[in-house]
Structure 1
Amino acid sequence: MELVKVGAAALNQTPLDWLGNKKNILAAIEEAKSQNIQILCLPELCITSYGCEDAFYSPDVFKISLEILEDIVDNTQDIVTCVGLPIWVNNKIYNAACVIANRQILGFVCKQHLPNYGLFYEDRWFHRWKPSQISEISIKGIKYPVGDLIFNFENIRIGLEICEDGWVANRPAIRHFDKGVDIILNPSASPFAFHKFKIREQLVTDASRAFCCAYVYTNLLGNEAGRLIFDGDAMVCSGGDVLASSQRFSYADFTLTSAIVDIGKNKIEQAKIKSSLPTDLKLINSNFELTYSEIPNTSFAEMEAFEKGGSLKEEEFSRAVSLALFDYLRKSRSNGFTISLSGGADSCACTALCGLMVRLGDESIGFEQFKEKLSYIPEIKSAKSIKELTEKLILTIYQGTENSSADTLESAQKLAESIGAQFYNININGLVENYTSLIEQQIGRKLTWATDDIPLQNIQARVRAPGVWMLANLNNHLLLATSNRSEVAVGYCTMDGDTAGSISPIAGIDKEWLRTWLVWLEKTGCEVKGKHIKIEGLKYVNALQPTAELRPKDNKQTDEKDLMPYKVLNHIEQLGIRDKKSPLECFKNLEKFYENQYTREDLFNWTNRFFKLWSRNQWKRERYAPGFHLDSHNLDPKSWTRFPILSGGFVFELEKLKEYYEGKSGGGRKKIGF
């Protein structure tokens, strides 16, 4: 048997949803059988799903996983299937994949390399299996091999790499090559990040070429556990060629990608190679962030260009967050989204994403199937069009004060109308005055903008929260928080005001890029069913300068005047937080990069301001609603950037920066060391 049809199934699973996960697995297996697929790879930990956190410690999770596995085994007549689950061996928990052939368990392969960086924490739950080690596991009195295994079928040798195993230098595939493996299966749970699918494709194609084999890679799909988005990226490569690649960001329960591979051709290529370790394999550092920043001389402009990636990034962002919102909605069994729509860039972006969610869902699985997935919502059944569906799912409210402008009201109303969302408009100025008056009576003085600027701004933002929460509760909706990544970095937000919400869809995106995306969505838009879906109602917000509208109108308040230019803020965040550079090193970098754009004094003041605000506002980042992981780095303390709530506040470091700026340590721009 030299021609073999192999398949990769991407599954939309949910942690500990035993029946739902089993249903998707069995449906994928049945579809694979109907397509005459002989070998099928299912994703990593697909029985339990990936994000079970400390529930992995529960022995009951292991026991139920084996019960589900039994049901899966019974449905594997005439097919070889690889399915992921946690197993206990000698009182240790392992991330494993079970290989089943024709209703028989052949063995369990355990993951050898566990990611423990950024948003990954696998060392907390699992043990690392030692290379070449083989043991056994007893299930209902029957013993099965477990460990670093190779499987043989009719002159075909199959080996496995489980996700991270394929991203490291000392990967199992090297030993598989020595043993003449013909097919490598890689069941993965690899979270979405911008352009990451290109890295995966390079990894898989290079491995299939260097190890002279067919390589089957599959991934999870959708918003699995709240923060991570899985794009359903799956592919089959052989001899360095991509034979098949999946549709990404599908709204379906699963997608299936298949191809026929020529095992005989690969065997001939293996015979030609005289070295046991191919020398031309491109190794990819397991930390995705390093794929573009590991070169010391890489400029900020080059990194920025890499990250923007033209319209590809806009499309990925639109599709990833829309899918994440849809899964979050249905898996939380909520009836829709409520948004406090101020008419500014952030709330307009959240509203536009909800509108895209409906349109992209219709493109992906069709109108009726989209409705079926939300059939638990009584009002959905009667919807006859995209517009009606949008109106039932999205509710917006504009809450103005005396400091709000006609421009932002128009921006909010026109956007809601353009996507078909419900729109309410109320004035909360009386509520603000009542709260202010109550406090003034207690403290015995009037509050003024000259002495009480921050409290007077914050009360307006906070007063908006109770009303919008009431609307969300009345409709069993998810309230969307509207803070962006730039605000997250410096705490430019009102806790229990614009941060109020169940999920924060744009917390991983900086404000500068978000504005370019809004323009793209207005003028170009997502390609859906051969047409570009634009949201032309965004033209009103795109004409506005970002402002909180919390100070009196004659103040002409803008966000960048309050903080600094967003591109500088984002640059400092990347240098200081992602790249771990000191305030002084950041300032030196900014001096060179913005030499002809900003004064040295401004750059010094902005650097000072950033680090002071960053350290003071960690408590805010700890309280943000869950956000989506979208980039190679994020600021979420629960999934990536951990920082102490109480710290020294960079006092020592900022003093060094001041000495350098004032010329006391080496004089002006001269290089100094300490």
Structure 2
Amino acid sequence: MQLIRLAAASLNQTPMDWRGNFDRMAAVIDAARRQGVGLLCLPELCVTAYGCEDMHFSPAVRSRALDLVQQLLPLTDGIAVAVGLPIAVGPALFNGQAMLVDGRLAGIVCKQHLANEGIHYEARWFERWPAGAVDSIEVDGRRVPVGDLLFDIGGVRVGIEICRDAWIAERTGIALARRGADVLLNPNASHFAFGKCDIRRRFVVEGSRTLGVATVHCNALGNESGRSIYDGDTMIAALGRLVASGPRFSLADSQLSSAVVDVAQLRQNRTRWMEAGRVGKQDAGLVAAPLEWPTVPDTEGASAPLGSASSATDAPWESGPHRKEEEFARAVTLGLFDYLRKSRANGFVVSLSGGVDSAAVATLCWLMVRLGVAELGQAGFAKRLPSVCGAQEAGDPRGLVRRLLTCVYQSTRQSGAATQNAARGVAEAIGAEFHLWSVDAMVDAFVGVVGEATGREIDWQTDDVALQNIQARARGPGVWLLANLKNALLLTTSNRSEASVGYATMDGDTCGGLAPVAGIDKHFLRHWLRWMETAGPAGVGPLPALAAINAQRPTAELRPAAAGQTDEADLMPYDVLDAIERSAIRDKRSPAEVLATLGPEFPQHERSELRGWVERFFKLWSANQWKRERYAPALHVDQGNVDPKTWCRFPILNGGFRAELEELEGG
């Protein structure tokens, strides 16, 4: 046997938080050494954090990143550590992973395949490194190899696939295995989306089997820079078996997973790669890095790849029937937690209308406290939010919620008792601070001033939309004032379905600095809130007070009660709206193609009715891009989004699909 201990670590980094990023890397390196780890992989671009955006262009940022790597070198005595950073080679910038071995910078591998779709724009900042190419740069007076490298670390060959390098058909690990790699490291900054972790796991496990290697996968963790959420998954596999994995959606600074593998067994099962004829030949990219591997007791050999034991564990909810609901709850609460502490705000304010969207946002804030206290303990959770939580609150979760969350119901004469009672009931159930006030006086004042100035009466017969909008806008100043007084973060409650068709009032219900549910459709959000009422996340349970929310039909309550206003009467059924949005925006289908997909999915509706809804969607979508451009940052949770900053760019001024809709009407 030749036993070595491998480790993968997730890290919750922040762009250009140099001291904090260094301290978190140093802490996890120390934790790995204490576990007897010989090789540790840290996430992609973890030195700077992945989400530096155009600051990657700054020479000062690159220089500072390389300085931090050099400061890490003394911490790597007796261990090998791979850390991600941007690296300049001549005039070009590359996404690199530096290998630090026993106090020495052995070399830097550069990413060969850039993520440049959806939420990622890597080609804006980085160049692709050509396969097989090797160069060098000067670091602290010595030449350091850079490029397509393979490391011989104390007799164990280690290759690196940086994130997307492992996602393509001809993954770079194939060439590395043919060059004799025993271990493949796969550092990632792979954003969360529903079910995406399963894809990563297949790459890790199947890659280890087909390539005959041990694979070490680590991902970024948390809400780094505002919109993207990283689940922080860590996995180690060997010869087709997952031998270690760590929890996802942790609110801690890092998570560390380790496992023992037997290099001799790996090589015995990799004869087909040896037969490729590459091993033993001169390899310009092979870098020798001496290391005396930490001794692994023979008793730990049971966790080696062909043993029967496995240290890989999943939370029970990971394989349960409500995994999507659990993922949504845990991803968004992690996003909220990081946004709160990294923005240094003193809590959240939610304009609680008594409807689904605002109730969901308030519930997610409550879940943030419940899940955080469950993981970190009450004192540990409070310590992570020092500007918010005093020591006297550390023993009282409801005290934490009340300190962190303020809700306000802003009524007008169109508001009903059902929504007011529902809002109050939810706020009381979760322990939030609750206020109630009317904005009628402000609405009347605005209507009176403008009516007098224009010399005409403003009434519902001629000015329906304007009168609805002024009510929503009149709610903005008061709730902004409340948030400012508390130095708190005002949360926007609009969802993705509303954003698609512009069913929101700018400077009204779109007020806020963060939009937690703007990345999810209304149909799912309603389903999730019913699940929260009756079941809830593992370890937390249900919130029965949501029954008063779920019993109502969604309504903006902006028209007089006699009008019987509902969202779906104004728009269309939400399940139809969301199906049109997926087909038109995610799948980029024309109006005629969208209509063709709807018939089989919604046989209960007449074709003429579906055609009218398709037409309405495309007209509203085309007219409301300016609103989507002005939305608060949205947390990305789905492999489809309408946020123009992360997923879906669309021209503000456009043809409105006029020709396509004329053809649709003709059909």
Task: Give the TM bin, normalised by the shorter chain.
Answer: over 0.9
Work out whether 1:560 is the aligned partner of 2:568.
Answer: yes
Q: Helix, strand or coil for the counterpart of 2:75?
A: coil
**1:267 positional shift:** 0.5
Give the counterpart of 2:584 among 572, 576, 581: 576
Equivalent residue, structure 2, for 1:303: none
**1:155 positional shift:** 2.5
**Contact 1:163/1:190, CA 8 A, preserved across alignment:** yes
Work out whether 1:454 is the aligned partner of 2:462.
Answer: no
CA shift digits 1:377-432 (9 cap, x unpaired):
36565443000010000000000011000000011000000010000000111111
Work out whether 1:336 is the aligned partner of 2:347.
Answer: yes
**1:310 positional shift:** 4.4
Question: Matches of residues 258-273 of structure 1 in structure 2 within 5 Å?
Answer: 258-272=258-272
**Contact 1:345/1:541, CA 8 A, preserved across alignment:** yes
**Contact 1:379/1:392, CA 8 A, preserved across alignment:** no
**Contact 2:178/2:274, CA 8 A, preserved across alignment:** no
Equivalent residue, structure 1, for 2:79: 79
Q: Helix, strand or coil for the counterpart of 1:40?
A: strand
- Give the TM-score normalised by the residue count of structure 2: 0.92
**1:589 positional shift:** 1.7
Question: Matches of residues 2-41 of structure 1 in structure 2 within 5 Å?
Answer: 2-41=2-41
Change over 3 Å in CA distance of 1:328–1:211 after alignment to 2:
same
Change over 3 Å in CA distance of 1:187–1:567 after alignment to 2:
same
In structure 2, C-alpha distance between the alignment counterparts of 1:454 and 1:605, rounded to whole Å: 21
Change over 3 Å in CA distance of 1:586–1:275 after alignment to 2:
farther
**Contact 2:382/2:390, CA 8 A, preserved across alignment:** no
CA shift digits 1:55-85 (9 cap, x unpaired):
0111101111121111111100111100111
In structure 1, C-alpha distance between the alignment counterparts of 2:643 and 2:481, rounded to whole Å: 27
Where in structure 1 are there 5+ consecutive unaligned residues? 278-307, 661-674
Q: Helix, strand or coil for the counterpart of 2:409?
A: strand
**1:170 positional shift:** 2.1
Equivalent residue, structure 1, for 2:619: 612
**Contact 1:8/1:40, CA 8 A, preserved across alignment:** yes
Question: Matches of residues 123-202 of structure 1 in structure 2 within 5 Å?
Answer: 123-202=123-202
**1:42 positional shift:** 0.3
Work out whether 1:525 is the aligned partner of 2:532.
Answer: no
Work out whether 1:656 is the aligned partner of 2:667.
Answer: no
Equivalent residue, structure 1, for 2:333: 322
Equivalent residue, structure 2, for 1:542: 550
Question: Matches of residues 205-354 of structure 1 in structure 2 within 5 Å?
Answer: 205-272=205-272, 276=276, 310-354=321-365
**1:139 positional shift:** 1.0
In structure 1, C-alpha distance between the alignment counterparts of 2:178 and 2:552, rounded to whole Å: 62
Where in structure 2 are there 5+ consecutive unaligned residues? 278-318
**Contact 1:380/1:392, CA 8 A, preserved across alignment:** no
Equivalent residue, structure 2, for 1:669: none
Aligned residues: 626
**Contact 1:380/1:389, CA 8 A, preserved across alignment:** no
Q: Helix, strand or coil for the counterpart of 2:434?
A: strand
Give the counterpart of 2:438 among 427, 430, 433: 427
Give identity over the alignment, percent: 49
CA shift digits 1:337-386 (9 cap, x unpaired):
00000010000000000000000101121111111111123656544300
In structure 1, C-alpha distance between the alignment counterparts of 2:597 and 2:118, rounded to whole Å: 25
**Contact 2:496/2:642, CA 8 A, preserved across alignment:** yes
- State the one-letter code of the partner of 1:459: I
- State the one-letter code of the partner of 1:82: A
Q: Helix, strand or coil for the counterpart of 2:87?
A: strand
Equivalent residue, structure 2, for 1:203: 203
In structure 1, C-alpha distance between the alignment counterparts of 2:556 and 2:365, rounded to whole Å: 22
In structure 2, C-alpha distance between the alignment counterparts of 1:154 and 1:657, rounded to whole Å: 68
Q: Helix, strand or coil for the counterpart of 2:129?
A: coil
Work out whether 1:490 is the aligned partner of 2:501.
Answer: yes
In structure 2, C-alpha distance between the alignment counterparts of 1:115 and 1:543, rounded to whole Å: 44
**Contact 2:414/2:561, CA 8 A, preserved across alignment:** yes
- State the one-letter code of the partner of 1:45: L
Work out whether 1:586 is the aligned partner of 2:594.
Answer: yes
- State the one-letter code of the partner of 1:546: P
Change over 3 Å in CA distance of 1:377–1:126 after alignment to 2:
same
**Contact 1:336/1:476, CA 8 A, preserved across alignment:** yes
Equivalent residue, structure 2, for 1:410: 421
- State the one-letter code of the partner of 1:614: W
Q: CA RMSD in A?
A: 1.4
Q: Which moved more, 1:504-513 or 1:441-450?
A: 441-450
- Give the TM-score normalised by the residue count of structure 1: 0.91
**Contact 2:519/2:642, CA 8 A, preserved across alignment:** yes
**1:592 positional shift:** 3.0
**Contact 2:96/2:111, CA 8 A, preserved across alignment:** yes
- State the one-letter code of the partner of 2:530: V
Q: Which moved more, 1:258-267 or 1:647-656?
A: 258-267
**1:522 positional shift:** 1.0
- State the one-letter code of the partner of 1:32: A
Equivalent residue, structure 1, for 2:644: 637
**Contact 2:389/2:400, CA 8 A, preserved across alignment:** no
